[in-house]
Chains A and B, each alone.
Chain A
Amino acid sequence: MVDDLARVGYLADEGTATAAWLAWRTSRPLLLEGEPGVGKTSLATALAQVLGRDLVRLQCYEGIDASAALYDWDHPRQLLHVRALEAAGGVDADALEHDLWSRRFLLPRPLLRSLEAPSVLLVDELDRADDEFEAFLLELLSDFAVTIPEYGTVTAEVPPLVVVTSNRTREVHDALKRRCYYHWVEHPDLERETAIVRRSVPEADAALAAGVARVVARLRDEDLLKAPGVAESIDWARTLHALGATTVEPAAAARTLGAVLKYREDQQRVAAHLAELLAEPA
């Protein structure tokens, strides 16, 4: 699995790869937690590529409900249909009823789409959704089936590989955790991060990639409001390369600090001892 993921550009560590493999083999959802920017979301993208399946993404937010996540009915078309039949004369109410709540007027939203074709379902930032939604998701994750009152039950022929991510703004319910593999995704180590940067910004110098990874690793040990993630490393390497830098040199680094640090307080704190941070290890 490590190799498969590497082929599509995701350099996973052993734990992440094992978790993904198990989730796929045992049809059990995978719950990923970890600092923002460690690659939770991109793992789902990579898995979809590896398995050759569609990626169905559901971004959670407060107030998300069934009609946004699961399905909705195409009401304007339903109304037109009723009027058209009426205009054509004689409407059989029973037949009409049956007609109206059929598949042709059903609009699948992400969750239903993930059941209809083999897919990787990414439920992103579940902690943003509210309790009701989590309970509703539980039902789907238990049997990979949903019941639509007017229509019937839709069951997945091939269960989707489900990846759930959470940023831990609140604790995900035990009932959901019970159904998932739980994996905490760490920041990559220096070697892996260098490799990731080199892969993502192949045009940049090898020394630049290694330098960015080294400095970012040091920044993560600083007392910052928001520690940089892998995405920031890649951004920074790209920005530095665009400025013509071949190593992380102080002048260019000072000008591009905004690519790595997203809070003014953090930038000020780091700028004060930037030279020290950039220093090569003795």
Chain B
Amino acid sequence: MSLAPTTAPAPGPDLTAELTGLADALRRAGVDIPAGAARAAVVALAALAQTPGPAAGEPSRAATYWATRLTLCSRPDDLAVFDEVFALWFDRAEWAGDVRRGVTLPTYRDVPVPGDQADAGDVEVASAPPTASRLEVLRHRDVAALDAEDRALVAHLLGRMAHRPAHRRSRRTRPGHHGRVDLRRVVREAVRTGGDPVHWPRRQRWPRPRRTVVLLDVSGSMRRYAETYLLFAHALVRSQPNAEVFSLGTRLTCLTRAFRSTDPQRSADEVARRVVDWSGGTRLGEGLAVFLDRWGRRGTARGAVVVVVSDGWERGDATLLGEQMEQLHRLAHRVVWANPNRARPGFAPRTAGLVAALPHVDAFVDGHSVAALEALTDEIAGSTRPGTAGGRRA
């Protein structure tokens, strides 16, 4: 094993404490350290110290580097942060800031809404029990123009939204009436009947859920819908285990893990920590290119139902957006574009972004109200609920 000896400061006498400290520093810098990783690092370092050759005895900086990197990191995004923190840690420098500086994201309680000077604080939902008709009216209202109390109700409705995935036939089988003979059960029964199969149980292929991928535009022009779509995405990830959510702004961020918490507020905090380009500009084309390159082409988008949520205000190159949408359309099973502005009176898809993207979209739907989002869930599942707005094919 050729681990070059270096003059780096060796870890102190208490290796475990030392490595636990490094793990803590990494955690503060935003790396998700797997549970028990510090212990694994100690084991790895001890194993490396046993190698014959220059690395024997005191662990070298190289040995320490690899022992900790291999155990404390768990995704490629961690590596750059790791290198930085590792260097600081060994130089005993103060950790100045967070590499992944999060910006404050509107929370579910206080989304800034134009024309809403009144209470942005907590609102008791129970203060005035909503009547069925009020809820029905609320379902069709544009969520960008609601007061705090109504927003709390909408949050409640969205939290309970039933997301159903689209389905496809799988290779897995279950006992059924058609399909191939289940020989395992034939043998079991043959034991009782002396080798004569009396009947032939079968296994059939069963439908499996398709993956749903949501690409959320988080640019400034979509700000007023942020809260709604975060709740929508939260409910989606909670009800479809293989769903994926990404934010698109000036860059692409994978948010799926942030939505794993059952508590919407904790999810929102986690999203805030991850999304660094919140309410910034829009470069949909570039973001999509990164998505297709890093995730989509390798399989995330293949055969999936991909939902793009955006008003299509593209600041970048609309030609690029068109090319990327064409790619996406080739990979995905269906591409659905939801636009909160679509329901506005006099709306026409005239922005350069929309003009470039819409030819490569299977459905172009509304996205401004609870009812529109319900229609969107039907669109994802591949069925259209009668009597709802939206769902018009592009």
Q: Which residues of A line the B interface, CB within 8 A?
A: 1-3, 14-15, 17-19, 21-22, 25-26, 28, 33, 36, 61-65, 73, 75-76, 78-79, 82-83, 85-86, 91, 93, 96-97, 100, 127-128, 130-131, 167-171, 174, 177-178, 181-184, 225-226
Contacts and interface: CB of A to CB of B under 8 A. Distances in A.
B338 interface: no
Contacts of B339: none
Given A76-B183, A168-B294, A171-B257, A18 B66 contact: yes
Contacts of A177: 34, 74
- The 3 A-B pairs with the shortest beta carbon distances in the complex, nearest first, are A169-B299, A63-B171, A75-B183
B295 interface: yes
B70 A181 contact: yes
B297 A178 contact: no
B194 A28 contact: no
Given A63-B170, A100-B187, A131-B242, A22 B256 contact: no
Given A93-B192, A171-B257, A22 B67 contact: yes
Contacts of A93: 191-192
A244 B185 CA distance: 62
Question: Chain A interface mostly helix, strand, loop or mixed?
Answer: helix
A171 B183 CA distance: 36
Nearest to A77: B187
Interface string B289-333: 000011101111010000000000000000000000001000000
Interface of B is mostly: helix
A169 B34 contact: no
A182 B261 CA distance: 24
Interface of B: 1-4, 32, 34-37, 40, 43-44, 47-48, 50-51, 62-63, 66-67, 69-71, 73-76, 79, 170-172, 183-184, 186-187, 190-192, 194-195, 197, 208, 241-242, 244, 254, 256-257, 293-295, 297-300, 302, 327
Contacts of B172: 63, 65
B195 A79 contact: yes
Given A14-B62, A75-B187, A182-B73, A171 B256 contact: yes
B76 A21 contact: no
B314 to A, nearest CB: 18
Contacts, number: 131
Contacts of A19: 66, 70
A26 B187 CA distance: 42
Contacts of A225: 293, 297, 327
A181 B71 contact: yes
Among A2, A17, A63, A93, residue most surrounded by chain B Cβ atoms (within 10 Å): A63
19 contacts: A2-B1, A2-B2, A3-B2, A14-B4, A17-B1, A21-B1, A21-B48, A22-B66, A25-B47, A36-B298, A75-B186, A78-B187, A86-B194, A96-B191, A97-B191, A168-B295, A181-B40, A182-B74, A225-B327
Contacts of B62: 14
Contacts of A183: 70
Nearest to A184: B76
B36 A182 contact: no
Contact of B300 (A18, A65, A97, A169): A169
A255 to B, nearest CB: 27
A86 B191 CA distance: 10
Nearest to B1: A1
Given A82-B190, A91-B194, A171-B254, 8 more contacts: A1-B1, A14-B66, A19-B66, A22-B66, A62-B170, A167-B298, A168-B295, A225-B293
Given A33-B76, A76-B183, A169 B66 contact: no
B381 to A, nearest CB: 19
A96 to B, nearest CB: 6
Given A26-B44, A177-B34, A82 B191 contact: yes
A168 B296 CA distance: 10
B71 A170 contact: no
